[in-house]
A and B are shown apart, each in its own frame.
Chain A
Amino acid sequence: MFFDLNIKGSSLDNNLDLAIEASKYGWEHINFSYNQDTFKNALEFRQEMEDSLNDEISFDFTLEIKSTNINDIRKIARKFRNNASCISVVGGDLKVNRAVVENIQIDVLSRPYLKRFDSGLNHVLAKEALRNNVAVELCFNDILRSYLSHRSKVISNFKDIYTLYRKFDFPLVLSSRAESVFDIRTTHDFIAVFKQTGLTVPEIEKSFSTAHDILEFNKDRKNMIFKGVRRVVDEA
């Protein structure tokens, strides 16, 4: 079960190229991420993509909120909650990281270490992420596009997050954030890289199933009345 929740979406042709390449390399599901300004336009060519891909690979769209204003993030998340299969927020700012892990409507805190000298997470945020079921996302592209000391620092930040993950067991998601066909690797290569950074194979597999669980949970989200109570349609 190989799920990638964050492939950078752009034009229809580029998306199709990425999807075909991902399918060739063993991915089973990908999510194209768009920011709050382009997300609605992206939904318009969903049908055309489905027809072109012909069930070769399943795909969906992630809303990637990029803002440093906490109130804006809250408003955008509420506005798009019913349309998006996954809502992620780009982290890096400590206030944003904190607000996101405290918001149960958001699925993923993407790259909390972005443009920082530390991992952007501590024990307080880790506990909140676990309580509100907000996953923390680490991107393969951040290792790929950096080099030398900067790459070492990114991997060092990953290792700090792994330490917290092992202690607090918050949801962890690994994704590629590929922008072109040059950024996509086979699933085995993807696993090998994260193994080298210090994760174990069961932990990597769990991160894929976490991504799957997020999508499954969101399919049923409209039936959730509040936490722990779900409307059922004669399941017995």
Chain B
Amino acid sequence: MRLKVLPPTLRKNNRYLVIEIKITSPISKDDLVTIIWDACVRFQGEANTANFNLWVMKFFEFEKQDGYYSYKAIVRCQRGFVDDVRSALALANRYNGSRISITTIGLSGTIKAAQRYI
């Protein structure tokens, strides 16, 4: 049996971060999920990361640039923890021996509005 949907006043408020990823080897959406969780747990700790309500909503692949693969994604996090999440993501440096760079290029309250940064 499914849980009944919470009334709007009891739901968590979300923010959607549009992130740009540069990496020297190709990755999938599942890899990105691992990268994001690892980055947050490593920099903010397990107890803090529990507040973030992280979810990768959308994942976009772009053409390979000179020397690196380029991706963009929309990541959900809880309102009030945006700075914590974006600082943790900004400090991701390596994944499986490849150089990686994640930076937040947009922030929005809805997925639809976040898509204009893609």
Contact = CB atoms under 8 A, between A and B. Distances in A.
Contacts of B86: 188-189, 192
B104 A189 contact: yes
Given A182-B100, A185-B103, A189-B90, A147 B42 contact: yes
Contacts of A183: 101
Size class of B's contact patch?
10 to 19
A193 B93 contact: no
A41 interface: no
Given A186-B104, A186-B105, A189-B103, A147 B84 contact: no
Interface in B91-117: 91, 93, 99-101, 103-105
Interface in B52-92: 68, 83-84, 86-87, 89-91
B84 A196 contact: yes
A143 B101 contact: no
Given A181-B22, A186-B104, A195 B99 contact: no
A192 B93 contact: no
A192 B104 CA distance: 11
A181 B104 contact: no
A212 B103 CA distance: 25
Nearest to A25: B103
B104 A188 contact: yes
A108 to B, nearest CB: 23
Nearest to A146: B93
B75 to A, nearest CB: 13
Given A181-B101, A192-B83, A192-B87, 9 more contacts: A147-B42, A148-B42, A182-B100, A183-B101, A185-B103, A186-B103, A188-B104, A189-B103, A192-B90
Interface of B: 22, 42-43, 68, 83-84, 86-87, 89-91, 93, 99-101, 103-105
Interface of A: 25, 143-145, 147-148, 180-186, 188-190, 192-193, 195-196
The 3 closest A-B pairs by CB, nearest first: A189-B90, A192-B87, A182-B101
